[in-house]
Amino acid sequence: MITKRKPRHPGGLIKRQYLETLDMTITELAERLGVSRKTVSEIVNEQAGITPNMALRLATAFGTTPELWLNLQQKYDLWCAANESDAWKEISPINLHAS
C-alpha cells in the first residue's frame, strides 16, 4: 500500500540521526565508509539513493542491517514513482487464469 505522506529519504535519516547526533561531518563519514565525500554528500542531500553496497557499509558503520537502508530507499523510491505519474494507473490487469 502506498501512503499519502512522502516517506523520508534515507539521507535525511543519516543526517539527523547520525551526523548531527555524533557531530560528524560528511567528510569524516565518507572516510569511515571508504567512499568519496561526493558520494556521501549526494546521499545526505537526497540527490542519490542507497545502493546495496552502500547499505552494507552503513550497516557495518552504524550497527544496523543492510535491509534497513534498502527498505527505506525502496519505500521512498516507490512512493516517488507512484506520485510522479499516473500512467501506471491506466494499465489493466492481465487475467492469468483465462482459458
82 pLDDT band (50/70/90 cuts)? very high
pLDDT exceeds cutoff 80 at 99: no
**One-character DSSP codes across 14-81:** IIIIIIIHHT--HHHHHHHHTS-HHHHHHHHTTSS---HHHHHHHHHHHT--HHHHHHHHHHHHHHHH
89 pLDDT band (50/70/90 cuts)? confident
Chain segment 48-74, per-residue pLDDT in tens:
999 999 999 999 999 999 999 999 999
Instruction: State the pTM of this model.
Output: 0.87
